[in-house]
Amino acid sequence: MKVTIYGSGYVGLVTGACLAQVGNDVLCVDIDPAKIEKLNKGESPIFEPGLSEMLVANQAAGRLKFTLSPQEGVAHGLFQFIAVGTPPDEDGSADLQHVLAVARSIGQHISDYRIIVNKSTVPVGTADRVREQIRETLQQRGASIDFDVVSNPEFLKEGAAIEDFMRPDRVIVGTDNPRTTELLRALYTPFNRNHERILAMDIRSAELTKYAANSLLATKISFMNELSNIAERLGADIEQVRIGIGSDPRIGYQFIYPGAGYGGSCFPKDVRALEQTARANGYQAELLHAVEAVNYRQKQKLFEKIRVHYNGELKGKTFALWGLAFKPNTDDMREASSRVLMEALWEQGANVRAFDPEAGEETARIYGERDDLTLCDSPESALVGADALAVITEWSQFRSPDFERIRDSLKAPVIFDGRNLYDPGFLVKQGFTYYSIGRTPVKP
C-alpha cells in the first residue's frame, strides 16, 4: 500500500520504517531541510535501537523515501498519517498548530479520496478539527472531494519502539466509517498475524484511550514515588515493598519502580493535556494534578539529598553524573530528571562531569559550552576529580560497576542513586555512604 507520513520525528520515522519493512511504499514529508538531507543520506536524526538499520535497508529497497514537498505527499498515499509534534501550550493544553497546518496542506492538494490518520497524540475532538480544516480549505478551492479522518494513536516506548510497532499489544483504530476500519485493518494485517490486535472504536474514544493509558502509567510511577517518601520516614525499604505489592497480579511489577521522577516527550505532556481538557469541559481532575505535582517534587529529590549531605555548601564541588537521557536506550533529554539536577547544582556553584552512552550530543546542543559542564566519554572518566557520584538514568552498563575503582576515583566514597540500582548492605561494606530512593541512607 502507498502511505504518506507527515513528520519525520520519533513517531513518524518509526511508523514509516516499520510500514516500509513489511512491504509498503512509504513517503515521509517534513519541513526541516536539514533533517530531510540527513535522512536522504541514510542518517537517523534520533537514536532508537534498530531504527538506523531499518531506515538504510528500506531506502536501499526503494520502499522508503523522504521529501520536503507536501504536494508530493498528498499525491502519493491513500493513507495520510499525521505524526507531527503537539508541544504543550502555556496552559498545558496540546498545541495543534502543526497538526492543523498539515490538514490545510492536504486540503490544498487533495485530488481524490484519502484517509487522514491522526497518529500524533492529540486531545479528544482533534479529528473533528482536522476534518473541518480540510473542508474549509476545499471550500476555498471550490472543490468537493471525499475523505475520511480516523484516530490511530501510537503506543511506542522509547528504547523499544521498533519491537512495539512490529509486535503491538494492540492497534487502536477510531473511525466513523466501516470502510476505513477495514482499510486500516488491511494495512495492519502484517502486524496482526498471531492473534487479533485491532481494537475498533469510535474516534473520540480512541483519542481518549491514548491519554488515559499514559496518564495511568504516570499515576503508577507517582504513586510509588509518593510511597517511597513515606517509606524513608518510616524506616521501611521501598524495594521490598515494591516486590510485595507487585506479586499481586492485580497490580503487577511494571511501572512501580521508585526513582527520580518521570520525563520524556509523553507522560508529562499528556498528563497536563488531559487535565487541561478536563478543565476546559468543566471538570477538575484532581488526581491528574496530583500526579504531576508529585513528579515535579520527586525531580528535586536527588538534589535535596545532595544539599543536605553537604550542609548546603556546594559551591566549587564537582559531581559525576551517570546518565542524562530521561530513560535508557534513547538520547531524548526532554523533561529529563538529569536536567533538573544539573541546573540545581549549577545554581549553587557546583560543577558537573557527566556521561551518557547516547545523550551527550543532545546535552551539548541544549546547554552549549559551559565551564561547569564536562561531557565525558566513559563512566570512569566522569568520576575523575569528582566529590561524589549521582546515578540518574538506569543504563544497563551502570548496574554492576567496579566499586573499588569508583571509591578510588572519587574524592570521597559517596553515591546518590536516583534509580535504586545498588544494594545498600553491599555498598556500606565497601566503605560507601549511599543514598537512594525510599530507603534509609547507609554510612560505613
Q: Is 18 a catalytic residue?
A: no
* Residues whose CB is less than 8 angstroms from the CB of residue 394 and which lie 6 or more positions away in sequence, other chains included: 259, 323, 327, 328, 419, 421
3-state SS track over 373-421: EEECCCHHHHHCCCCEEEECCCCHHHCCCCHHHHHHHCCCCEEEECCCC
First-to-last alpha carbon distance for the chain, in angstroms, is 64
Please, are residues 399 and 421 in contact by the beta-carbon 8 Å criterion?
A: yes
Q: What angle do CA 79, 80, 83 make, to 5 degrees?
A: 125
Residue listed under C-alpha cell 534509609? 440
Identified catalytic residue from 18, 28, 266, 376: 266
Show the cell assigned to 403.
566499586
Task: Give the strands of the sheet with 79-82, arranged side by side.
Answer: 64-67, 25-29, 2-6, 79-82, 114-118, 147-151, 171-174, 198-201
Q: Measuring CA to CA, which residue among 393, 330, 326, 392 is closest to residue 358?
A: 330
Q: How far apart are alpha carbons 210 and 127 in whole angstroms? A: 14
Phi, psi of 233 (to 5 degrees): -75, -25
**Residue 369 buriedness (CB in 10 A; 0-12 / 13-18 / 19+):** exposed
Q: Measuring CA to CA, which residue among 262, 303, 299 is closest to residue 390?
A: 303
Half-sphere exposure of residue 258: CA atoms within 13 angstroms, side-chain side: 28
The CB density around residue 44, as the number of other CB atoms within 10 Å, is: 17
Q: Measuring CA to CA, which residue among 149, 135, 119, 124 is closest to residue 7?
A: 119
Report how far apart, in Å, the C-alpha atoms of 137 and of each of 7, 100, 106 are: 21, 11, 9
Instruction: Tell me 94's DSSP state.
Output: B
Half-sphere exposure of residue 380: CA atoms within 13 angstroms, side-chain side: 7
The CB density around residue 384, as the number of other CB atoms within 10 Å, is: 13
Q: How far apart are alpha carbons 351 and 267 in whole angstroms? A: 30
- Residues marked as catalytic: 266
